[in-house]
Amino acid sequence: MFGRGSQLVAKSFSRNVAAASFQRRLASTKSLKETLQEVIPAKQEQLKKLKTEHGQASLGEVTVDNVIGGMRGLKAMLWEASVLDPNEGIRFHGLTIPDCQKQLPAAPGGKEMLPESMLWLLLTGQIPSEAQVRQLSAELAEKGELPAYVEKLIDSLPPTLHPMTQLGMGVAALNHDSSFQAAYEKGIKKTEYWTHTFEDCINLIARLPALSARIYHNIYNAGAPLPGIDKKLDLIGNYANMLGFANEDLTEYLRLYIAIHGDHEGGNASAHTAHLVGSTLSDPYLSYSAALYALAGPLHGLANQEVLRWQMAMQKEIGDEITHEKIKDYLWKTLKSGQVVPGYGHGVLRNPDPRFMALQEFCDARPDLLKSPTIQLVKQTYEVAPGVLKEHGKTKNPYPNVDATSGCVLYHYGLTQFKYYTVIFGVSRALGCLTQLVWARALGLPLERPKSLSMDAIEKLIKA
């Protein structure tokens, strides 16, 4: 039926299709490190071009308000993984949270994107294949066991010591096995810094669930058996299992929370601290332990527990008959007492936090959460609070941030220990802080050293 020419064309087409299919298979099975090795040269060239062609370009002026106001709003830091827009919210390599929810692989049988998927995106700027994510999950599980000396250290600490203090100590102690520190002491080329930083970062992310779960058991569940790492589970599947919560909805919630909370630009206190300490060439363990202690502050990572306390106090006062008018009265009572409304406002955002909206959508899709008085109160507060705060007139952003709901969902699922919530935040924020330490070394970023001024010096400059 076909001539020889047609047969040759058909064979050639088949070979091309097979070759393309083979290339796709190769791309889908490349490891995270192999993918990163391909991405780094282009970024290095981009940075070189920016410095050469635009090194003296102005990104804006510095005002006295910037200097005495905590450097707020200054464009003074390179951070590749995410950019925070005041109106649109966070974007990860240009992708919104809804984009990530649609495109990033979930766990087998799950719907929420895996933190491993977000880790891949933050580090490479690429969407991983499902096979690559499964491979990464397996690698993290393989590296997830804690060294005996860290277990002994954590077990020796008094249960009254704050869980964030314990987490920072455990992370810092892991630097005993730092690949970067060992290589630096032997003497390595600057071009190799990123590879050892990468190894430390992956090892630390892998071990954070076991470390955090051990702290939880020692403080809140002493004597109960602590499950080991299950090599078949993903990072958060193992974390939830080791915490002692078999609820799949809670596991899915933790996957979502940790993925969308993993990075929020570089200027927040914990991310900036990791970057600053890392710029001294401290290894990732020491850099991230410092970041955790920034995260432990009431103006940063403690916010969601403050929201929950406030919500529960309101629930107790207004009773079961919840109305918008009662919520409005309680909001005004809070404001007139000189307090802020926890979970509302943000240092950068000027619209509802997309992370809050994502968690609300999670709640709306689950009947048990819709019936929860705590979750319902969060939703109804959102319907009332912006109007009250606008009328009050002292809040730049009258809309909810992620903390307005994050701790309340944990409480609903039985994780009721407020002080532990920031530890979960610490597991999450490692994704952004640590991936950017890798990029800082790959791009050869220098020691961070801003210029400080005294008030007399500022006045002198103004007069001049």
Q: Which residues pair with 344 in a beta bridge?
A: 400
- CA–CA distance, 297 with 314 (Å, rounded to integer): 24
A 10 A CB-CB count for 323 gives 11
- How many whole angstroms separate alpha carbon 47 and alpha carbon 444? 10
Pick the catalytic residue from 99, 300, 329, 392: 300
> What is the token pair recorded at 220?
């809140």
Tokens in use for 420? Answer: 């532990």
329 catalytic per annotation: no
Is residue 144 within 8 A of residue 209, CB to CB? The reply is yes
Residue closest to 172 by CA, chosen among 337, 262, 275, 291: 291
Tell me whether residue 346 is one of the annotated catalytic residues. yes
Whether 403 is a known active-site residue: answer: yes
Active-site position among 264, 272, 275, 346:
346
Distance between terminal CA atoms of the chain? 91
Catalytic residue among 200, 275, 403, 412: 403
In SS3 terms, the chain reads as CCCHHHHHHHHHHHHHHHHHHHHHHHHHHCCHHHHHHHHHHHHHHHHHHHHHHHCCCCCCCCCHHHHHCCCCCCCCCCCCCEEEECCCEEEECCECHHHHHHHCCECCCCCCECHHHHHHHHHHCCCCCHHHHHHHHHHHHHCCCCCHHHHHHHHHCCCCCCHHHHHHHHHHHHHHHCHHHHHHHHCCCHHHHHHHHHHHHHHHHHHHHHHHHHHHHHHHCCCCCCCCCCCCCCHHHHHHHHHCCCCHHHHHHHHHHHHHCCCCCCCCHHHHHHHHHHCCCCCHHHHHHHHHHHHCCCCCCCHHHHHHHHHHHHHHHHCCCCCHHHHHHHHHHHHHCCCCCCCECCCCCCCCCHHHHHHHHHHHCCHHHHHCHHHHHHHHHHHHHHHHHHHHCCCCCCCECCHHHHHHHHHHCCCCCHHHHHHHHHHHHHHHHHHHHHHHHHCCCCCCCCCCCCHHHHHHHHHC
- Return d(Cα 447, Cα 449) in angstroms, integer: 6
Q: Which residues are catalytic?
A: 300, 346, 403
